Structure 1
Amino acid sequence: MTYKQWYLEHGNKHAKIMEKLKDKTKDEVIAYFKFENMVKNEPDFCPLYKDNKKCHDYDELNCYFCACPNFRFDDDGVKKQEGKTLYSYCSIDSKDGAQFEGEDYIHQNCAGCLVPHKERYIKKNFNRNWFEAMKNVNLSK
């Protein structure tokens, strides 16, 4: 699956949940996206939910920004570095992020970063329209 395919599919899943929550306040929506609630009420939102597994080891994990607004991707590659194609990166260069490098590619590895999963960040960047909140992520448009 390409980044763009995932992005579109995930955004549509997010929109369906938001439609169910259209009468809820911002704080109620954010609370709904807590990991424990999502595993129980939205089992198809994330493939890890079927095993009750978190993508990040964090007690207060919130899945509203399952994808991070600071992530950038281009399925065709953004630029070459030392003969390698850069397909994704972190726009804020989070100190907890890393890059996964193969023989000829580089992808962002967000596994160690919790930035978008904290309620403080979600409240600051909240948008009921996930695609609007994520508008800068897809560089390949």
Structure 2
Amino acid sequence: MSYGEWFEQHADKHKKIVDKLVSRGYTKEQILEYFEFENMVKAESDFCPLYKDNKKCHDMGELNCYLCACPKFRFDDKGIEKVDNKTKYSFCAIESKDGEQGVYGDKIHQNCSKCTVPHHKEYVQKKFDLDFREIMRECSL
């Protein structure tokens, strides 16, 4: 699955949940609480493939799943640039010290597995919008 395909599928799943919560009168704070990992595993088991194993994507205590992806992630499914005969497809716009470029054969992808920034509730509160696509509007190049 390409980045773009994942992004669109995830945005649709996110919107469905958010629309349901808004229709029930949830406030911003209640929506953020709903998206806490422990609740999402029970209430929205199809939102993330890791939920079926009750596994977090990052080793951290309180993990909020509202963003799932980071607004600072940049991607282009056609490739961004050539680096040493390899094609770079993604990178971190802020060059997080917890991220790295992973080389996989002739492809270079951003590895965010050690970066927990978008899963902290405080960060999500700063970036909050009911529309996932709006929060992530700069990700696709």
Q: Give the shorter-chain TM-score range.
A: over 0.9
> Identity across aligned pairs (percent)?
56
Q: Quick one: which amino acid aligns to residue 137 of structure 1?
A: C
**Which consecutive aligned stretches of 4+ in structure 1 deviate over 3 angstroms post-superposition?**
none
**How many residues were matched structurally?**
139
3-state DSSP class of the match of 2:57?
A: coil
TM-score w.r.t. structure 1 length? 0.96
SS of the aligned residue for 1:127 comes to: coil
Aligned partners of 2:34, 2:105: CA distance in 1, in Å? 41
What secondary structure sits across from 1:112 in the alignment? coil
Unaligned runs of 5+ in 1: none
Q: What amino acid is aligned across from residue 120 of structure 2 in structure 1?
A: K
In the other structure, the counterpart of 1:114 is 116
For 2:134 and 2:63, locate their aligned partners in 1 and report how far apart those are by CA, in whole Å. 22
Could you tell me which residue of structure 2 aligns to residue 17 of structure 1?
17
Equivalent positions of 1:84-103 (< 5 A) are 84-103=86-105
- For structure 2, list consecutive stretches of 5 or more residues without a partner in the other structure: none
Can you list the C-alpha shifts for 1:19-49, whole angstroms capped at 9, x where unaligned?
Answer: 1111211111111100000000000000000
Give the Cα–Cα distance (whole angstroms) in 2 for the partners of residues 117 and 32 of structure 1. Answer: 13
Q: When the two structures are superposed, what TM-score results if normalisation uses the length of structure 2? A: 0.96
The CA deviation at 1:64 is 0.5
Task: Find the residue that maps to 1:21 and give its secondary structure.
Answer: helix
Cα RMSD after superposing both structures: 0.7
How far off its partner does 1:78 sit? 0.5
Deviations 1:42-72 (Å, cap 9, x if unpaired)? 0000000001011100110100110111111
